[in-house]
Amino acid sequence: MSSAAVRKTERSTPAIARDCFGPAVVEAVGPAEVEVRLPTGARVRAELALAYPYRPAIDDVVLVIGRDEAAYVIGVLRGSGETKLAFEGDVTLHAVRGKLRLTGDEGVAVEGKELEILVSAFKLVADSMVHKATSAYQRITGLLSVRAGETHTLVDGTSATKAKHGVILTEEKMTINGKQIYLG
């Protein structure tokens, strides 16, 4: 077994599986098989026979079944490895008559060349939000309404606002500061 990851212990010769069914600790990981330590202390090579694309990691506890010299990993009891779904071509996930939810205890990352969202309503709720872009464009045919506790805008170059009608209304003091101010 050419192992991609091996526990830092002495190299052992995998034992014959005999009859086994139960938990085992992953000691080494190869492309299609793992070396596991059975509760008896015996080490065996077991072929991955999972119904999903899981890549075990060292110290995972897996469910092993075996007879004679053949052993198979048929489940993951405690895992820290990666489950990766990879498809060729376009992929559609569709929840018929229900919601599609993507959740992650440590977050959700969406990565790609382009992201397109087409919905009739868009809601975003966050404790904090950061936008970073080289250029950003918004086109709103109805009303754009912003309500904020405070607002701060810093522009390195020119700032321009153009409107058919405009109003600046303050309840208290208004300050306009510039080398030249043109009204007219």
Residue 48 lies in a domain: yes
pLDDT at 6: 54
Domain count across the chain: 1
Structure tokens that stand for 117 in this block: 């969202």
pTM listed for this prediction: 0.60
Whether the predicted pLDDT of 7 surpasses 80: no
Residue 151 lies in a domain: no
**How far apart are alpha carbons 29 and 94 in whole angstroms?**
34
pLDDT digit string, tens, across residues 93-139: 999 999 999 999 999 999 999 999 999 999 999 999 999 999 999 99
Longest dimension (CA), the chain: 95
**How far apart are alpha carbons 33 and 37 in whole angstroms?**
13
Residue 126 lies in a domain: no
**How far apart are alpha carbons 159 and 148 in whole angstroms?**
20
**How far apart are alpha carbons 23 and 87 in whole angstroms?**
31
**How far apart are alpha carbons 49 and 71 in whole angstroms?**
9
Residue 164 lies in a domain: no
| CATH, residue 71 | 2.40.50.140
